[in-house]
Amino acid sequence: MSDTLDSIWRRDRRRVLATLIRLLGDFDLAEEALHDAFLAATQTWPQDGVPANPAAWLISAGRFRAIDKLRRRARFTAAAAELALTLSDSTDDTARPDDPLRLIFTCCHPALSPEAQVALTLRTLCGLTTEEIARAFLVRTPTIAQRITRAKARLKDDRVPYDVPEPGEMPARLDPVLRVIYLMFNEGYSAHAGPDLLRADLSDQAIALGRDLLALLPDAEVMGLVALMLLTRARQAARQDAEGAIVLLADQDRSLWDRGLIAEGSALVERAFATRQIGPYTLQAAIAALHSAAATADQTDWAEILALYTVLLRAAPSPVVALNRAVALAMVQGPAPALALIAPLAQGPLESYAPAHAAQAEMLERLDRRAEAASAFRKALALSAQEPEQRHILRRIAALEGTTARPDARAPDEGG
């Protein structure tokens, strides 16, 4: 039964919470109701069996337990008494298909700062702990906790409607939603910390949200984001070996790539480019499509990928984009010019970013500067909080300090 409950928690938690927030109108009360409902399930389901619709059961159980909690508070506050009465009179326990979209648009409301939008969404929709969010963004845990608390209070005080914006309002509300969906996908595809490389439930939920958003708004950048997630998700089965170790993009067994997702993602890239409104997500998706189109690593069109990264760096300049462009440059012009670009990034804006030091190590190794490469890998190791990544880096250090040399033209896991 515990395995069943764990599976339902991973599959239905976000949908149940999104519906409870809509029904109860209060983030904290809904989160309490969610946990109360799952606690009730652990007590009831072993005797009565798992219901035919677990999510509906949990929503109903959560709502009734919230009503009970409000009734107990009613003796102290009139507001609790009024809300308990309103909820008691309602018979609506139905989950709506757009509840998760309602939640993400609410979490990304313009009343909140970008930092608060991200923190609140990752906490509610992704279910990440405050500590996990803090580690991901290199911020102190109390700071993240304060952001989340203030964000909830702001939404409540401003009476922000829990709804999907009208079509005319949606374009102006789109950018933070796309950013948070992509952050959610990335945390699922390559977790920032912990024993597991992948959290497939998060990446799949992000794709589902992206598809729902695309159905509402066939915008080019929505197409680009969904395409990017699909093309990246298509490689998931090849990213680890049988022992759980990371497999770099160049070494992946491409027969394991999901050709259905690649076809769907590539078609969306073409649709997005046809609009001639090409943004950063569409450019990244085009890069992912080029990787997916190569039958072997050696057949990758690195010159075209470099050109796309050059455009992307102009359209959306950032240190991480500059790093990825440098990796592509190494595959076209060799490691020396790439190292000249990577070194100042690793010593400057990306000093705390493990992949920057790993990329620097790759270039140093290709230049046969093995001691310096091992040192750079150690810096990456010190910054990594993800166990599969740590094991991979330790293997690289051991290879450098032993007798095993890697091939001279191996690309780091750029785009992988």
Distance CA 47, CA 245 (A): 41
The candidate with the shortest Cα–Cα distance to 23, out of 103, 78, 79, 81, is 103
The candidate with the shortest Cα–Cα distance to 344, out of 364, 313, 322, is 322
pLDDT beyond 60 at 405: no
Q: Which residues contact 164 (CB under 8 A, 6 or more apart)?
A: 98, 101, 102, 105, 170, 216
The candidate with the shortest Cα–Cα distance to 34, out of 7, 55, 53, is 55
> At what angle are helices 319-333 and 354-366 packed, to 10 degrees?
20
- pLDDT (0 to 100) of residue 388: 84
φ, ψ of residue 193 to 5 degrees: the values are -150, 165
- State whether the Cα torsion 220-224-226-230 is positive or negative: positive
Question: How is the chain split into domains, by residue range?
Answer: 1-96, 315-401
Token pair in block for residue 64: 């009734």
Fold of 315-401: 1.25.40
Q: Say which DSSP state 257 is in.
A: S
The candidate with the shortest Cα–Cα distance to 125, out of 146, 151, 99, 144, is 99
pLDDT tens sequence across 314-344: 999 999 999 999 999 999 999 999 999 999 9
Q: What element of type H or E holds 284?
A: helix 280-293
Residue 214 · residue 258 · CB < 8 Å: no
Residue burial 226-257, b: 16+ Cβ < 10 Å; e: rest: bbbbbbbbbbbebbbeeeeebbbbbebeeeeb
Confidence of residue 362 (pLDDT cuts 50, 70, 90): very high
Helices (H) and strands (E) in the chain, counts: 19, 2
Instruction: Report the pLDDT averaged over residues 71-90.
Output: 58
What is residue 373's three-state secondary structure?
Answer: helix
For 137-143, which contacts have Cβ atoms below 8 Å and span 24 or more sequence positions? 138/352
What is residue 127's three-state secondary structure?
Answer: coil
- pLDDT (0 to 100) of residue 93: 60
What is residue 294's three-state secondary structure?
Answer: coil
pLDDT beyond 90 at 280: yes
Token pair in block for residue 57: 């059961």
pTM of the model: 0.81
Q: What is the distance of C-alpha 313 from the center of its chain?
A: 22
Q: Residues in the chain, how many?
A: 416
Average the pLDDT over each of 3-12, 22-31, 92-101, 229-238 and give the range with the smallest value: 92-101
pLDDT tens sequence across 169-202: 888 889 989 998 998 898 888 766 555 666 777 8
Distance CA 368, CA 67 (A): 68
The candidate with the shortest Cα–Cα distance to 257, out of 240, 271, 236, 276, is 236
Token pair in block for residue 355: 């992949």
Residue type, 319: P
Distance CA 150, CA 213 (A): 27
Instruction: Report the pLDDT averaged over residues 69-95.
Output: 60
Residue type, 157: D
